[in-house]
Amino acid sequence: MEVVEPPREQPLVTGLQARYRPGDILRANCTSHKSKPAANLTWTINDAPIPPQYVKQYQPVRSHPIDTRESSRLGLVIMVSHDHFVKGILKLKCTASIHEVYRETVEQLIPEDRPRILATGVSASGHSINLYQGTVHETELTDQNDAYLTVNGYKADKSSPLASSSGGLQIDSYVKVCWVTFYICIICTVMVYSIRYLMVT
């Protein structure tokens, strides 16, 4: 009869980024510390088993020659695809088990990294708005009293120097057009009076 000594801690997942987008490489390790025998580790994404070609099995190790308990580690290297995200979330799980005696699962919910946008636009009032490059999240678009405007789901900085300079250029162009129109009106008036004078004489 084998004596089982389960780990005192739950499995530990390391190496993950905060966010991923399709095409990124996800690299992670799952470690189960000090048990007898070494725990068996498995990976799942969205509760589906991961094919073995993406999994790297490491040999169990002992922290000390006298200590008969062993730590197990399982690696994961896989390219993230669109199918891995369900409603923008990738659910990654690592499960450690020892026969039917011990079973512990740790879960990581990883959000999808949305594409970055770099563009310029014009607001309804006609003012130029500089749309900065950055990842847009829904929680960032709820505050209407901060120092930003939102246009078509993107964030724009009202205090942007580029936006201010663009507004100044629009005003200068408008003033120039007004002066040119004024001079044209004066010239036309002079020509009309000159023609009338010549016709009378």
**CB proximity list for 93: less than 8 A, separation 6 or greater:** 43, 44, 45, 47, 105, 106, 107, 108
Distance CA 88, CA 90 (A): 7
Mean pLDDT (whole number) for 49-58: 96
3-state helix, strand, coil in the chain (%, to 5): 25, 40, 35
| Residue 82 structure tokens | 């669109």
Q: In the beta sheet, which residues pair with residue 73?
A: 31
- pLDDT category at 189 given cuts 50, 70, 90 is confident
pTM of the shown model? 0.56
Please give the pLDDT value at position 131. Answer: 45
Please give the pLDDT value at position 149. Answer: 36
* pLDDT, tens digit (0-9, with 9 covering 90-100), for 167-180: 555 666 666 777 77
Check residues 97 and 181 and name the one with the higher pLDDT: 97
Q: In the beta sheet, which residues pair with residue 77?
A: 27
Residue 126 has pLDDT above 70, yes or no: no
Closest to 17 (Cα-Cα) out of 66, 87, 82, 90: 90
Distance CA 90, CA 79 (A): 12
Check residues 195 and 167 and name the one with the higher pLDDT: 195
* pLDDT, tens digit (0-9, with 9 covering 90-100), for 129-181: 444 444 444 433 334 443 333 333 334 444 444 444 445 556 666 667 777 78
Please give the pLDDT value at position 132. Answer: 40
